[in-house]
Chains A and B, each alone.
Chain A
Amino acid sequence: MTLLEVNDLSIRYAIDDGSAVHASDRVSFSVDRGETYGLVGESGCGKTTLAKSLVHLLDDNGYIESGNVWFDGTLPQWADENGDAKQSVIDDPDKPVREDGKTDLAALTNKQIRDMRWRDIAIIPQSAMNALNPVYKVGDQIVEAILRHEPQTTKAEAHDRARDLLERVGIEPDRADDYAHQFSGGMKQRAVIAMAMACSPDLLIADEPTTALDVIIQDRILEELEKLQDEFGVSILVISHDISVMAEICDRMAVMYGGKVMESGRTEDIFGETANPYTLGLKNSFPTITSADQDLVSIPGTPPTLRDPDPGCRFRERCPFAIEECHAEHPPMYDVADAESTGRLREATDQRAHGSACYRIDELEQLRTDALNEDTWTEQRIESR
């Protein structure tokens, strides 16, 4: 069952001179209940912006331009005893709640969304190491979250729960009375994860959960997340630039570039049946531990600035396979399986199916072979095409 359905979401950052940064441009994806979904891409491709925008946590100059964020859950005052939206709320045209009970988070006011933050969607921020307030005890900070959303809980109960949560992520419950500076980096990260589970949210957004951690700790954190997922049935939206981490934990994922989704689908499809030039380039530039003497091939050039971008494909400047068509308009998502079997381009109708935003996926075999060749990715080659 779908938990989160993001439709054509565009996010912009206003700039003083009147232009705008198109940090996310008509992005669509959906996350099922209990699933781990990944957003992968280079720094500055809009993945963090996208995640923050779901719960209105953008910086002051950021705003949602258009699109919907349908979430299976609603405001406490709009819900019946089962937590589903009341029929009267669904029928009310002024309330952004759909037939199937999903609420459009993008249409909520900032005051309304505050009731859904952490209770329905918790976020583990990029700088989780600095996310604990240095002047309060770690346990008290977890208690604060519990009492915010469940005011009927007594303080003693909340404290018990906080200690229990810490224990679940492998921290001694007595450490609840410690301050953040008494924790190691990995412990801080796990404490934030424990805090994220405080109100048992339906969706957990993990923004670069393993960056700044060494590989051993990284692995433990990932295990921790998977364990929690089994235990609580929470869906996880992971954001990372590290495709090896993503390959390990994600069920499905979207590869983002320049504020656009370039390729999306099941993880094994994306890595096994790669169908987009950008993903091919990204794969080339990551080392694998199994092949010893490996030359990494990077994608020449730098990501676009996204400031009032041209209409063409966002990747065309760096793409060795770009053709005339790519300059006119950014390609829609095409159904990969369809293109491979029929050799024709058909826009993807199912968001779950393996899709790729590229005009040349009808020549996939050729692209894949060429992409493996180092010479394809030299600057001269790209400029001469």
Chain B
Amino acid sequence: MTRISGKYLAKRIVVSYLTLLVIMSLLFVLLRSMPGSFITSMISSGMTAEQIARIRETWGLNEPLWRQYLNFMINYQTGNFGRSPTYNTQVWDLMIRRMPRTLVLFGSTFIIGFIVGPLVGMYLGWWRGSRKDKSIFSTSLLLYSMPSFWISWLFIWVFNYELDLLPSAYMFTQFPEFQWTAFTVMRDVLYHIALPIMSLTFIGWVGSMLIMRPTMNQVTDEGYVFLARAKGLSERTVMVKHAARNALIPVATGAVVSLAFLIDGSVIVENVFNWPGMGQIIVSSVLNRDFPVAQATFFMLAVLVVVMRLLTDVIYTYLDPRIKFGEGE
């Protein structure tokens, strides 16, 4: 980690910040180019012109668009995300409540996927061309081509409807007959999260496996793999310590790319499982023209991706000692 210079890091942070400013501007423009407007979420047919004018005034909609844009940009710099008309709370409070739920679900699928995927990829790449490799590889491609919502329905049908093992919706039991303690909360969340995690990880590991397998196969021909064998190390040590360790480097890049797709999937899966996370409010806020919430959720996702990109640089220097960031600048 010492191989990232402070200067390089500062530069990257400035660039990330500028990226976020651009994304915010795009968000502002794109949301307002949608048919319908912000005000439609707050007015009903029985309102008088005067009432509507007052609403416009309180939400600052009388100001010219450039002024609204400036307000938006300045408010976000100071951490003021505004108020949601549909949820009738501060947007920030909504985020704070919803974000952890999404992170729990997608953090765990992300981690499971990036443990299982490279592991399977390691074995398949090492034994490339074997019968095991061929059958597992073709099965995984089949999985990869299935849409996540369809898999989710399939899992709901099997585990909820047919077997009645796991709940198909929500994060908590709706009308519990037990006391809420730290332990029961944990147990209840685990019980509810099982099915969404299962359906997400069922296909989620394939992406990283697809990156790991060919790179793993390449490194088996490297001189250091031969030397590791010649040293008398066991096949397992050669595979894990010498080959897989080198093949992991491109997988780190894949992780960041796949994160964006994971967020994609989150919207769908959260709606299928009625998971009260960010994915749900992304959809509802856009449908209701709740601009403050829509802006904030999209902004948070952008922050997540930008931060992950920054993190990969750090991970890279850890994985590959040949990589140096900020040399000669």
B-binding residues in A (CB < 8 A): 55, 57, 114-119, 122-123, 125, 127-135, 144-145, 148-149, 179, 181, 192, 195
Given contacts A179-B321, A179-B322, A181-B322, contact A133 B231 (CB under 8 A): no
Given contacts A134-B246, A135-B319, contact A125 B234 (CB under 8 A): no
Asked if B230 is an interface residue, CB under 8 A from chain A, the answer is yes
Instruction: Pick from A125, A149, A181: contact of B226, CB below 8 A.
Output: A125
Given contacts A134-B224, A134-B246, contact A57 B230 (CB under 8 A): yes
Given contacts A133-B224, A134-B320, contact A55 B230 (CB under 8 A): yes
Asked if B4 is an interface residue, CB under 8 A from chain A, the answer is no
Kindly state the separation between the CA atoms of A345 and B303 in the bound complex, as whole angstroms: 86
Instruction: Pick from B222, B232, B319, B322: contact of A148, CB below 8 A.
Output: B232
Q: Is the CB of B246 within 8 A of A133?
A: yes
Which residues of the other chain, A, contact B319 by a CB distance below 8 angstroms?
Answer: 135
Q: Is the CB of A135 within 8 A of B231?
A: no
Chosen A-B contacts, 11 in total, with CB atoms closer than 8 Å, are: A57-B230, A118-B232, A125-B223, A128-B223, A131-B224, A131-B227, A133-B227, A133-B228, A134-B224, A134-B320, A149-B232
Kindly state the separation between the CA atoms of A117 and B320 in the bound complex, as whole angstroms: 29
Chain A proximity of B276: nearest CB distance (Å): 43
A-binding residues in B (CB < 8 A): 222-224, 226-234, 242, 245-246, 319-322
Chain B proximity of A245: nearest CB distance (Å): 21
Chain B proximity of A365: nearest CB distance (Å): 45
Chain B proximity of A191: nearest CB distance (Å): 11
Given contacts A118-B231, A127-B223, A130-B223, 18 further A-B contacts (CB under 8 A): A114-B234, A117-B230, A118-B230, A125-B226, A125-B230, A128-B223, A131-B223, A131-B227, A133-B224, A133-B245, A133-B246, A134-B320, A134-B321, A135-B246, A148-B233, A181-B321, A192-B227, A195-B231
Which residues of the other chain, B, contact A145 by a CB distance below 8 angstroms?
Answer: 231-232
Which residues of the other chain, A, contact B322 by a CB distance below 8 angstroms?
Answer: 134, 179, 181
Kindly state the separation between the CA atoms of A114 and B231 in the bound complex, as whole angstroms: 8
Q: Is the CB of A148 within 8 A of B227?
A: no
Kindly state the separation between the CA atoms of A125 and B229 in the bound complex, as whole angstroms: 11
Q: Considering residues A119, A135, A144, which has the most beta carbons from chain B within 10 angstroms of its beta carbon?
A: A135
Q: Is the CB of A125 within 8 A of B232?
A: no
Which residues of the other chain, A, contact B227 by a CB distance below 8 angstroms?
Answer: 125, 131-133, 192, 195
Q: Is the CB of B321 within 8 A of A132?
A: no
Which residues of the other chain, B, contact A192 by a CB distance below 8 angstroms?
Answer: 227
Which residues of the other chain, A, contact B320 by a CB distance below 8 angstroms?
Answer: 134-135
Given contacts A57-B230, A128-B223, A148-B233, contact A133 B242 (CB under 8 A): yes
Kindly state the separation between the CA atoms of A131 and B222 in the bound complex, as whole angstroms: 8
Which residues of the other chain, B, contact A181 by a CB distance below 8 angstroms?
Answer: 321-322
Kindly state the separation between the CA atoms of A149 and B231 in the bound complex, as whole angstroms: 9
Which residues of the other chain, A, contact B231 by a CB distance below 8 angstroms?
Answer: 117-118, 144-145, 148, 195
Kindly state the separation between the CA atoms of A122 and B226 in the bound complex, as whole angstroms: 12
Given contacts A134-B246, A134-B321, A135-B246, contact A114 B226 (CB under 8 A): no
Which residues of the other chain, A, contact B245 by a CB distance below 8 angstroms?
Answer: 133, 135
Which residues of the other chain, A, contact B321 by a CB distance below 8 angstroms?
Answer: 134-135, 179, 181
Chain B proximity of A311: nearest CB distance (Å): 34
Kindly state the separation between the CA atoms of A277 and B61 in the bound complex, as whole angstroms: 99
Kindly state the separation between the CA atoms of A181 and B327 in the bound complex, as whole angstroms: 15
Which residues of the other chain, B, contact A149 by a CB distance below 8 angstroms?
Answer: 232
Task: Report the 9 A-B pairs with minimum CB-CB distance, sorted nearest first.
Answer: A130-B223, A117-B232, A127-B223, A133-B224, A131-B223, A131-B227, A179-B321, A114-B232, A123-B230
The chain B residue with its CB closest to the CB of A123 is B230
Q: Is the CB of A115 within 8 A of B232?
A: yes
Kindly state the separation between the CA atoms of A10 and B321 in the bound complex, as whole angstroms: 43
Instruction: Pick from B222, B233, B234: contact of A144, CB below 8 A.
Output: B233
Which residues of the other chain, B, contact A131 by a CB distance below 8 angstroms?
Answer: 223-224, 226-227
Kindly state the separation between the CA atoms of A119 and B227 in the bound complex, as whole angstroms: 13
Chain B proximity of A194: nearest CB distance (Å): 13
Q: Considering residues B223, B232, B242, which has the most beta carbons from chain A within 10 angstroms of its beta carbon?
A: B232
Kindly state the separation between the CA atoms of A133 and B320 in the bound complex, as whole angstroms: 11
Kindly state the separation between the CA atoms of A328 and B321 in the bound complex, as whole angstroms: 59
Kindly state the separation between the CA atoms of A57 and B232 in the bound complex, as whole angstroms: 10
Which residues of the other chain, A, contact B222 by a CB distance below 8 angstroms?
Answer: 130
